[in-house]
Homo-oligomer: A and B are copies of this chain.
Amino acid sequence: MLLVERGVDPYRGARALPGGFLNHAGEDILDAAHRELREEADLDVARLHLEQLGTYGAPGRDPRGRVISVAYLAIAPELPDPVAGTDAADAGWESAADVLSGRTKLAFDHLRIVTDGIDRARGKLEHSALATAFCRETFTIADLQQVYEAVWGVQLDPRNFYRKVQKVPGFIEPTGQERRATKGRPARLFQAGPTTVLHPPLVRPESTDSEGAR
Residues of B near A205 (CB, < 8 A) are 199
Residues of B near A58 (CB, < 8 A) are 28
Decide yes or no: A25 and B66 within 8 Å by CB, A52-B54, A54-B52 being known contacts. Answer: yes
Residues of B near A57 (CB, < 8 A) are 28-29, 70
Check B70 against A26 for contact (C-beta < 8 Å).
Answer: no
- Determine the residue in chain B with the shortest Cβ distance to A26: B59
Residues of B near A55 (CB, < 8 A) are 29, 52, 54-55, 70
Residues of B near A208 (CB, < 8 A) are 197
Asked if A204 is an interface residue, CB under 8 A from chain B, the answer is yes
Check B197 against A200 for contact (C-beta < 8 Å).
Answer: no
Residues of B near A89 (CB, < 8 A) are none
Residues of B near A52 (CB, < 8 A) are 54-55
Within 8 A of B (CB), among A49-63: 52, 54-55, 57-59
A131 to chain B, nearest CB (A): 17
Asked if A110 is an interface residue, CB under 8 A from chain B, the answer is no
Could you give 13 example pairs across A and B, Cβ below 8 Å? A25-B66, A26-B59, A28-B57, A28-B58, A28-B59, A29-B68, A54-B55, A57-B70, A123-B127, A127-B127, A199-B204, A199-B205, A200-B201
